[in-house]
Amino acid sequence: MTQAELICDWGGEAVVSRFDKPSGAWCFIALHDSTLGGAVGGCRMKTYARPADGLRDAMRLAEGMTYKWAAIDFPFGGGKSVLAVPPGLAGSAREGLLRRFARLIDSLNGAFSTGVDMGTTPADMGVMAEECRYIMGMHDGRPQDPGPHTALGVLVGLKAATRHGLGAESLEGVSVLVQGVGDVGAPLARLLAQEGARVTVTDMDAERAEVLADEVGGSVVAADSAYGAECDVFAPCAVGGVLSEATIPLLKARVVAGSANNQLEVDLDAERLHDAGILYAPDYVVNGGGAIAFGLMHLGEHDDAVLRERIGGIAGTLDAIFSEASAHGHSPLQAARRRAERVLVERKAERE
């Protein structure tokens, strides 16, 4: 589909699109739903085969943010930004793009706020904050890293999932395969090891995986063998679309809980997991720790104990989702969607 066709076919509210001629990048801001407030979502930077693929990614991610904010009942709407960049963009050309994009966001006057996502860093947000008032995760003028907060939320959610899916009251001896050991996967692996889990890691960067496995006393599996590896819990913490009609039959895990956005290739894959007896922790709930922390910071709360306590609430949210899904005999994704939609309907009614 062309960019125009994608926009016309989308159920969101608006798309802001700009071609950045100096860098050769396409800039997309997808605003999905403002029921709960101004849209908030990360800034992803990636090279795509076609600009339209970057637009599609932004739209899908923006919808996920709507459900994420609604699931945790925060006063933000769903949005996402994507910078579809040419290969090898670096140095002053990359910084120039970030600054120009920040000014574009600032011109929206709060309709969209952004933060770190795949391909961008806290340092990038520091650069953008020099040009834009609407950067999430800033404290005392310094950009913060959402990775450790997200990892803590995944740990909390993973514990809830293992209670429901494995009947395990602790992670002691539970085998967890972490796919992708970047800004979230690496701290997650360390937290899991501290909890007594048996940790296996995999990453496209085999050397990085080996170093982390040695640090946490874990093991490594090759990236192309990860889906069929023996484990109790599969934790996707890299790219999206990894759970599909092709990969789900390979899984040996009984639980899926990880930080990657849009883990399912299509929504039907949630039913495929359910039919296979695999408990799926909906990604936009289990990976909400970073959003919770940065959302609270944006609202003026910076006390670490408060942030950790609110992130701990992910467990209760998932408990309710799993219980509802079990009672109705369907996937947790359906229960999570209904939970989020109830919040959206209630807030719309309050505004009317």
> Taking a C-beta distance cutoff of 8 angstroms, is the pair 239, 260 a contact?
yes
Which of 49, 48, 56 is closest to 17 using CA atoms?
A: 56
pLDDT tens readout for residues 19-64: 999 999 999 999 999 999 999 999 999 999 999 999 999 999 999 9
Distance CA 301, CA 307 (A): 8
CB atoms within 10 A of CB 139: 10
Per the structure block, which two tokens stand in for 234? 């599969």
Residue count (the chain): 352
Q: What is the mean pLDDT of the chain?
A: 95
Q: What's the average model confidence in pLDDT over 327-338?
A: 94
CA–CA distances in Å: residue 199 to residues 163, 237, 334: 18, 14, 30
Catalytically active residues are: 80
Find the mean pLDDT for residues 68-73: 91
CA distances to 95, 107, 225, 300 from 133, rounded to whole Å, are: 17, 10, 44, 15
For the record, the structure tokens of 161 come out as 């999932």
pTM for the whole structure: 0.89
Where do we find the tokens 């066709």? 5
Per-residue HEC secondary structure of 191-253 comes to HHHHCCCEEEEECCCHHHHHHHHHHHCCEECCHHHCCCCCCCEEEECCCCCCECCCCHHHCCC
For the chain, the distance separating the N- and C-terminal CA atoms, rounded to the nearest angstrom, is 37
Query: Where do runs of H (alpha helix) occur along 15-121?
Result: 51-71, 91-106
String of b and e for 89-102 (b: at least 16 CB within 10 Å)?
A: beeebbeebbebbb
pLDDT of residue 139: 85
Tell whether the model's pLDDT for residue 352 goes beyond 90: no
- At residue 18, the 3 state secondary structure works out as strand
Share of the chain above pLDDT 90, in %: 92
Residue 65 confidence (pLDDT)? 95
Per-residue pLDDT tens over the stretch 207-259:
999 999 999 999 999 999 999 999 999 999 998 899 999 999 999 999 999 99
| pLDDT single digits (tens) 255-305 | 999 999 989 999 999 999 999 999 999 999 999 999 999 999 988 898 999
pLDDT of residue 4: 94
| Residue 86 near residue 51 (C-beta atoms within 8 A) | no
**pLDDT at residue 351, as a whole number:** 79
Q: Which two tokens stand for residue 137?
A: 């995760």
